[in-house]
Copies of this chain bind each other. A is one copy, B any other.
């Protein structure tokens, strides 16, 4: 019954809220974290062709030391939760992250984008999920690349990167042999791969709505269809810059993205384009649903009209006839004698029976007429 998301579905509302609530006139580049932010958890995964180590750190200094001890390995520093300004500022300082970029990280509502600075990439991706209340829920994943490390930031403890971590652990494939940029690619690939099941669920929900449309069209249904349309538009607004972002990577020079990695980014670019196709498909579908709904309303009104018309058309003439013979024209002339022309039918022995017969014929004729017009069969 809602077009605009209300507070019921808190999660999906939150990002919009935070955009609109941003403190006006606040100093640019200053970090103000919301009261709801989770306490940060720190993970470090170090690996190269020979070794692999992954653990959670409670202490940032310990993590940093571990990171510095093995310069020959690739590292994935994984920060979950933005609850500590001090920690974030420390990371900013140690890894030379620009304050405005860190502000983008914690303002959890950035469009997917890409920034390049001193041969380092800052990538904002969005992880999407189709929630049980039929919304697209999107969380931000911010990625910084360095010569031998990747830092990711996310607001929740859960994410969709577990399969990738397992793959690194297993050591299969190229991932442990390649550079940090390849790790960033692998993360983006996993994130993008998660769009497809979300789209599949959205598609199933659209099918459900379509079934409802034929079985039991109701007032709420249009609202649900329009809600779905909005979700499709929303995911479209996420996928577009996602594609642009990757296309920007493809145009970067070789120093930043080595030629042999380009083909991998070309691959996820193709995936993003396929996503666009899918999303456009669903947009078309939801438009069709609206059309179908409106035509259904028209059809139902048509049906109502037909019932009314059939009933009226059959009974109104009959009512006239019985009214006719309910008239009190007098056979007896008060001035004496009789009026033989005043309703002589009433006095015939078979008058009533004949009339019933005539009315039966009229009804049959009309029913036949409606049958021929097809009003009885496919109303």
On A, residues with C-beta under 8 Å from B are 1-4, 6, 16, 19-22, 24-30, 98, 100, 103-104, 109-111, 113, 115, 117, 160-164, 166-167, 172-175, 186, 189-190, 193-194, 196-197, 199-200, 203, 206-207, 210, 214, 216, 218-219, 222-223, 226, 229-230, 233-234, 237, 263-264, 266-268, 270, 273-274, 277-278, 280-281, 284-285, 288-295, 297-302, 304-309, 311-313, 315-320, 322-335, 338-343, 345-353, 355, 374-375, 378
Q: Indicate which residue in B167, B329, B335 contacts A351 across the interface (CB closer than 8 Å).
A: B329
With both chains docked as a complex, state the minimum distance between the C-beta of A36 and any C-beta of chain B, in angstroms.
Answer: 18
Are A274 and B111 closer than 8 Å at their CB atoms? yes
With both chains docked as a complex, state the minimum distance between the C-beta of A61 and any C-beta of chain B, in angstroms.
Answer: 28
What is the predominant secondary structure among interface residues of chain A facing chain B? helix
Are B316 and A312 closer than 8 Å at their CB atoms? yes
Total copies of the chain: 5
Q: Which residue of B lies closest to A332 (CB)?
A: B347
Are A328 and B330 closer than 8 Å at their CB atoms? no
List of B residues within 8 angstroms of A313 by Cβ: 307-308, 311
Q: Which residue of B lies closest to A329 (CB)?
A: B352
With both chains docked as a complex, state the minimum distance between the C-beta of A62 and any C-beta of chain B, in angstroms.
Answer: 29
Are A111 and B273 closer than 8 Å at their CB atoms? yes
With both chains docked as a complex, state the minimum distance between the C-beta of A200 and any C-beta of chain B, in angstroms.
Answer: 4
Are B293 and A295 closer than 8 Å at their CB atoms? yes
Are A22 and B196 closer than 8 Å at their CB atoms? yes
List of B residues within 8 angstroms of A162 by Cβ: 25
Are B320 and A163 closer than 8 Å at their CB atoms? no
With both chains docked as a complex, state the minimum distance between the C-beta of A85 and any C-beta of chain B, in angstroms.
Answer: 15
Q: Indicate which residue in B113, B172, B230, B274 contacts A285 across the interface (CB closer than 8 Å).
A: B230
Chosen A-B contacts, 11 in total, with CB atoms closer than 8 Å, are A4-B285, A20-B196, A28-B268, A100-B263, A226-B292, A315-B320, A319-B319, A322-B326, A327-B355, A328-B328, A339-B352
In the bound assembly, the distance between CA atoms of A311 and B319 in angstroms comes to 12
Given A315-B316, A318-B320, A334-B347, answer yes or no on A186-B28 (Cβ-Cβ < 8 Å). yes
Are A190 and B111 closer than 8 Å at their CB atoms? no
In the bound assembly, the distance between CA atoms of A281 and B237 in angstroms comes to 10
Are B305 and A312 closer than 8 Å at their CB atoms? no
In the bound assembly, the distance between CA atoms of A122 and B319 in angstroms comes to 80
List of B residues within 8 angstroms of A115 by Cβ: 266
Q: Indicate which residue in B284, B348, B378 contacts A218 across the interface (CB closer than 8 Å).
A: B378
Are B316 and A305 closer than 8 Å at their CB atoms? no
List of B residues within 8 angstroms of A330 by Cβ: 346-347
List of B residues within 8 angstroms of A210 by Cβ: 2-4
Given A25-B190, A233-B284, answer yes or no on A374-B320 (Cβ-Cβ < 8 Å). no
Are B325 and A315 closer than 8 Å at their CB atoms? no
Are A309 and B304 closer than 8 Å at their CB atoms? yes
Are A24 and B196 closer than 8 Å at their CB atoms? yes
Are B334 and A20 closer than 8 Å at their CB atoms? no
Are B311 and A237 closer than 8 Å at their CB atoms? no
In the bound assembly, the distance between CA atoms of A317 and B294 in angstroms comes to 32
With both chains docked as a complex, state the minimum distance between the C-beta of A331 and any C-beta of chain B, in angstroms.
Answer: 6
